Amino acid sequence: MGPSSDNDRPPALPHLGVFAVLFGVWCLFFHVVGNSSFGYVHSHSFFGWLTGWYRLTNVAESGDELCPLIPFLVAILLWMKRDALAAVPKRVWPPGLVLVALGVLLHVAAFLVQQVRISGFAFLLGGVGIMSALWGPLFLRVIAFPWFLLIFALPLDAYTSSATLPLRLLSTTLSAGFCKSILGLKLVVQHGTQVELPPTPTSPGFRFEVVAACSGIRSASVILLISLVHAYLHLRTTFSRVAIVLASVPLAVFGNVVRLIVVFVVGDAFGESVAKTIETRFGFLTYGSALLGVLFLGHLLSPKSRPQSTTLVDAAETAAS
């Protein structure tokens, strides 16, 4: 028997036509009865609601401005993992339909209580259920992480806004305390989220309010996303992945504190107007400090050498993990 040709190999994604039909029906379902809330976007379609929300003028101020970019990020991750997706053994797996059923039930509940964001999660759950039903549990393991990163494409500011005040208080307390105890700005006074330095013969003084936009919730969501992607691409153990994800919020707070300290020091030296310029234009201090923390922690947690896979399944799982 001669060597097998490329035509004899099984397709990388069998039943692709069936998937296209089923996923198309799933999308049509959410297009026709995907939104029961017309407070912001008057459309019955979940996708119409989502794109309409992206076009709202207040999205740029809500922390959701990165949402439209997430599908492109997911597409890049899937392309980077294309070899693992092609290599993993595939089979029809009926239990995957349970995820589709759960997606339907979750969407019905979300539709009745007018929670369109929860419908978005239901859409993702049913979509991955269709894929796992056609291509099996090993494929589900490979696809689950990049697929559910699409959650970040949903506008979630409505659920995270309640965390802004505690983050504002924490960042203000840490930065003001550092300035008083370490940098010698003994006259710095904190009133909640307000920091004040009275004028002195050597300082013009300043008065700042750490507003919601400076709470760090936006940077926390961005750093969390970056930590998840870094863990997916470069870390191998569950411990290292969980550690870097849990560290994302403290790192974001650290970056925010660094920026506030710089603002207060500049305010002490050059006055409030110059410090406010730093506050509005030097947001890279927050992200840069936090990103350096993510990279440093990722370096500490990354494996020294990658394990060698001996089977096709091991290779696919290693690429997926």
Calculate mean pLDDT across residues 187-206: 85
Q: Confidence class of residue 150 from pLDDT cuts 50, 70 and 90?
A: very high
- The strand pairing partners of 207, in sequence order, are 196
CA atoms within 13 A on the CB side of 287: 10
154 to 4, 67, 136: CA distances (angstroms): 46, 6, 27
Predicted local distance difference test score (pLDDT) of residue 154: 87
pLDDT exceeds 70 at position 2: no
User: 3-class SS at 152?
Assistant: helix
At 38, the pLDDT band (50, 70, 90 cuts) reads: low
Mean pLDDT value of segment 148-161: 78
Split at pLDDT 50, 70, 90, the class of 319 is very low
Instruction: Centre a 10 Å sphere on the Cβ of residue 114 and count the other Cβ atoms it contains.
Output: 13
Distance CA 176, CA 56 (A): 36
Query: Is the model's pLDDT at 139 over the cut of 80?
Result: yes
Q: Say what the pTM is.
A: 0.75
**How much of the chain is in helix, strand and coil states, percent to nearest 5?**
70, 5, 25
CA distance 183 to 268: 11
Which has more confidence, 219 or 139? 139
Domain ranges of the chain: 10-155, 162-301
